[in-house]
């Protein structure tokens, strides 16, 4: 008799990414027993399902009009759902599995290629579920013995005879437990021998508890041996039946093979507690571990908060997949310095934490921090690229620096932040000075929030001098904060705090607005005078940054050439690709772009030639170093020549003496600013300075 041909399974794909849809469609090409239909929105999917029920739904987690998980509630009783996501996320995985998805996949070319296999497995498991449900209905209508057994559910039906102490099984147990054909029963003692040694006591206890009347149903999960010394996970359910005199008549139920479910739960647990990129424990695991350690009243140890310097530059330059490989290498390198009693985790994007419980006697925390730093003296090799990484490390000790997890993490992070602001590639121990800084920042932040409303900010302007003509070529706008309680507050104290508090964007636009308004007032008399303002990386990363800057300049009714923008190397590196694109747009608009503090940060020729800039500014630290006595061993002249090779002008900052100005003239520097010409001046003093200024002429050899 010929087999009846089964119609192909109807698979509904809900995916709004056309490229991903094409890759998935390609994977299903040539598969005769499955037909793939595609829609690109949640709404279309619901309408399609309402018209005709598919056999399986494959849906993206994130859609333009909702989430694929929204299909599950309506899908539970009708068809299985496979959920896909672009990023591995333990919370999404746990939520998806709890919601009842048949499978949860992280998108990748390999995952797409294997999707037909996942679909078959989901359909097979769904058929098994439907078959079990059908069997349960049949068992409930059956005679008392099988009705009793079905109360515990499906797969293998078992029946314990209290007289012989034998357990009888249905035919399915041969398939599941790989028992020899014809064997349909075994003794109670024999079945105990097959159960994993670690699970036997639990099974015996629950068996006896139910027979003694302390539980309504017998339920237990355990491992049972099959062929090849392997174990399967079993979920056993059952119920005892007594006569009117309380004598046990029957004890029957079912056994379900939950091995695959257990494996899925282990995968979910791995996602929930381990970082998929580095394989290290994640933030959740670390927090639990730290809490456990601190439960010991005698606990002593160290928390090292490690941040990879300029990691955003690697992501922006080489791509996120390359950045992920880099993080995996960083994890490997850090594992090489783990000590006895240490616990390493990936805590955040480019952040790692090492917990050292009871550090070895005689070794200082500083020495341990230095060990971490020393690991990165070795170059990191990825493919054909070799480069050096540096890290900033903050150290907090317990119980000295805190007795709770929140305190220790806050203080270790504060120490790391201090290391970054101290130039990176270093470590800092948490101390009272840092604690005082935190307290001061709290007070300062309170005043800072009201500074804009109270009009406490003002601008001073420092002249820039053309070293060929001696004329004033421009002004740099420098913000000042005059607080009634604190007096004049240095920008060094409040700019970074404003960034942390999310205030820097509004402050930055206020500075630009004020500078443009001042430029408009000067335009008629000084049409070629350029005013430059400083940018923060936070401001630059705003999606509407370019449009906002253009709008402010246009409203001031001045040529874009009158306004310059200054951004430091370190800030540019924090998001290189996006920053360059925006600066390029503003350069085309007509604005003048300067790279500030050149030589103190990343300083790479490979990126310098591609930056949309007009000039570089040499940091004051280099200018302080130049003098007649060491004119041949300083690098200032080399920086100037290098910039000129790339067609860039050079501005020297912090010029305070005539000797410095003269040497810079000999080095062919283009522009300087500093106290030798003028200190930063308020607006009214700038007007007077422009009227009374006499040329500074410094002859070149």
For the chain, the structural domain boundaries read 9-133, 142-263, 274-440, 456-471+479-687
Look-up: residue for tokens 């959740």? 284
Buried b (16+ CB within 10 A) or exposed e, 283-310: bebbbebbeebbeeeeeebbbbbbbbbb
Alpha carbon 462 to its chain centroid, in Å, reads 41
Lowest pLDDT segment from 21-30, 330-339, 691-700: 691-700
Burial (CB count within 10 angstroms: exposed 0-12, middle 13-18, buried 19+), residue 546: middle
Q: Which fold has domain 456-471+479-687?
A: TIM Barrel (3.20.20)
Mean local confidence (pLDDT), 322-337: 91
Mean local confidence (pLDDT), 629-643: 76
Backbone angles phi, psi at 529, to 5 degrees: -80, 125
Q: What is the pLDDT of residue 341?
A: 74
Question: Does 679 have pLDDT greater than 80?
Answer: yes
Average pLDDT, the chain: 85
- The SS3 call for residue 235 is strand
* pLDDT tens digits along 375-431: 999 888 887 777 789 999 999 999 999 989 999 999 999 999 899 888 889 999 999
Mean local confidence (pLDDT), 26-31: 90
* pLDDT tens digits along 253-283: 888 888 888 888 877 777 788 888 999 999 9
Taking the complete model, does pTM exceed 0.85, yes or no?
no
Question: Does 246 have pLDDT greater than 90?
Answer: no
Question: Does 2 have pLDDT greater than 50?
Answer: no
More reliable by pLDDT, 384 or 599: 384
- Which contacts qualify for 198-206: CB closer than 8 Å, 24 or more apart? 198/223, 199/223, 203/236
Question: Does 76 have pLDDT greater than 60?
Answer: no
- Select from 3.30.70.270, 3.40.50.1100, 1.10.540.10, 3.30.43.10 the CATH code of 274-440: 3.30.70.270
Q: Which fold has domain 9-133?
A: Rossmann fold (3.40.50)
Q: What is the pLDDT of residue 413?
A: 93
Alpha carbon 85 to its chain centroid, in Å, reads 16
Q: CA-CA distance, 285 to 202, in Å (whole number)?
A: 28
Residue 115: which residues within 8 A CB-CB, separation 6 or more?
Answer: 24, 27, 28, 58, 82, 105
Residue 204: which residues within 8 A CB-CB, separation 6 or more?
Answer: 192
Q: CA-CA distance, 259 to 223, in Å (whole number)?
A: 9
**Could you write out the DSSP letters of every residue in 525-589?**
T-TT-EEEEE--HHHHT-TTHHHHHHHHHHHHT--GGGEEEEEEHHHHHTTHHHHHHHHHHHHHH
Q: CA-CA distance, 166 to 533, in Å (whole number)?
A: 89
More reliable by pLDDT, 139 or 434: 434
Lowest pLDDT segment from 109-118, 174-183, 432-441, 443-452: 174-183
Q: Which of 316, 320, 307 is nearest to 573 (CA)?
A: 316
Predicted confidence band of residue 183 (pLDDT cuts 50, 70, 90) = low
* pLDDT tens digits along 576-593: 777 888 999 999 999 999
Sign (positive or negative) of CA dihedral 58, 62, 66, 67: positive
* pLDDT tens digits along 500-514: 888 999 999 999 999
Question: Does 147 have pLDDT greater than 50?
Answer: no
- Select from 3.40.50.720, 3.30.450.20, 3.30.750.210, 3.40.50.970 the CATH code of 142-263: 3.30.450.20
Domain 456-471+479-687 in the same topology as domain 274-440: no
Q: CA-CA distance, 586 to 596, in Å (whole number)?
A: 17
């Amino acid at each position: 008799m010929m087999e009846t041909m089964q119609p192909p399974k109807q698979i509904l794909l809900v995916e709004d990414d056309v490229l991903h849809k094409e890759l998935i469609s390609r994977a299903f090409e040539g598969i005769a027993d499955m037909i793939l239909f595609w829609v690109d929105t949640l709404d279309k999917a619901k309408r399609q399902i309402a018209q005709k029920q598919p056999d399986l739904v494959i849906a993206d987690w994130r859609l333009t009009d909702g989430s694929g998980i929204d299909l599950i509630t309506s899908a539970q009783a009708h068809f299985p759902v496979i959920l896909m996501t672009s990023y591995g996320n333990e919370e999404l995985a746990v939520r998806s599995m709890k919601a009842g998805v048949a499978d949860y996949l992280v998108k990748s070319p390999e995952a797409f290629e294997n999707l037909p296999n996942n679909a078959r497995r989901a359909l097979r498991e769904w058929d098994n579920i439907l078959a079990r449900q059908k069997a349960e209905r049949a068992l409930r209508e059956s005679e008392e013995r099988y009705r009793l057994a079905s109360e515990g559910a499906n797969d293998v039906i078992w029946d314990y005879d209290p007289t012989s102490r034998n357990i009888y099984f249905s035919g399915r147990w041969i398939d599941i437990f790989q028992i020899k054909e014809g064997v349909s029963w075994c003794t109670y003692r024999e079945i105990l021998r097959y159960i994993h040694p670690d699970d036997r006591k639990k099974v015996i206890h629950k068996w006896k508890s139910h027979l003694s009347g302390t539980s309504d149903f017998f339920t237990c999960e355990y491992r049972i041996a099959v062929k090849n010394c392997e174990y399967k996970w079993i979920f056993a359910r059952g119920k005892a039946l007594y006569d009117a005199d309380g004598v046990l008549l029957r004890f029957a139920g079912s056994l379900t093979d939950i091995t695959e479910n257990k494996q899925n739960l282990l995968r979910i647990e791995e996602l929930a507690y381990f970082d998929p990129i580095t394989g290290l424990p994640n933030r959740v695991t670390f927090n639990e571990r730290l809490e456990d350690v601190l439960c010991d009243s005698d606990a002593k140890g160290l928390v090292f908060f490690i941040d990879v310097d300029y990691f955003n530059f690697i992501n922006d330059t080489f791509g996120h997949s390359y950045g992920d490989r880099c993080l995996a290498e960083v994890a490997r390198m850090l594992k090489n310095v783990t000590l006895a009693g240490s616990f390493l985790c990936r805590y955040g994007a480019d952040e790692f934490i090492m917990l050292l419980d009871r550090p070895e006697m005689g070794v200082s925390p500083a020495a341990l921090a230095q060990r971490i730093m020393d690991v990165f003296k070795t170059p990191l090799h990825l493919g054909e690229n070799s480069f050096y990484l540096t890290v900033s490390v903050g150290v907090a000790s317990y119980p000295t620096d805190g007795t709770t997890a929140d305190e220790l993490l806050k203080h270790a992070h504060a120490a790391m932040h201090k290391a970054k602001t101290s130039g990176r590639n270093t470590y800092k121990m948490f101390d009272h000075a840092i604690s005082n800084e935190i307290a001061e920042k709290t007070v300062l932040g309170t005043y800072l929030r009201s500074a804009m409303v109270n009009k406490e900010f003002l601008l001073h302007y420092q002249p820039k001098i053309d070293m060929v003509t001696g004329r004033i070529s421009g002004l740099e706008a420098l913000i000042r904060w005059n607080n009634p309680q604190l007096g004049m507050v240095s920008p060094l104290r409040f700019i970074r705090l404003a960034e942390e508090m999310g205030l820097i964007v509004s402050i930055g636009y206020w500075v630009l607005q004020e500078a443009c308004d001042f430029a408009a007032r000067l335009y008629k008399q000084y049409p070629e005078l350029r005013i430059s303002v400083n940018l923060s990386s936070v401001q630059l990363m705003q999606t509407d940054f370019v449009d906002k800057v253009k709008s402010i300049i246009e409203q001031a009714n001045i040529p874009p050439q009158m306004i310059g923008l200054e951004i430091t190397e370190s800030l540019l590196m924090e998001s290189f690709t996006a920053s360059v694109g925006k600066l390029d747009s503003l350069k085309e608009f007509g604005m003048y772009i300067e790279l500030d503090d050149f030589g103190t940060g990343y300083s790479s020729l490979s990126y310098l030639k591609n930056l949309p800039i007009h000039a570089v500014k040499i940091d004051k630290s280099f200018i302080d170093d130049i003098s007649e006595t060491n004119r041949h061993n300083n690098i200032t002249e080399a920086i100037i020549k290098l910039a000129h090779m790339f067609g860039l002008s050079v501005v020297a900052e912090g010029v305070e003496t005539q000797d410095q100005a003269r040497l810079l003239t000999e080095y062919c520097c283009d522009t300087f600013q500093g106290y030798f010409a003028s200190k930063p001046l308020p607006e009214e003093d700038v007007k007077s300075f422009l009227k009374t200024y006499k040329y500074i002429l410094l002859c070149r050899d």
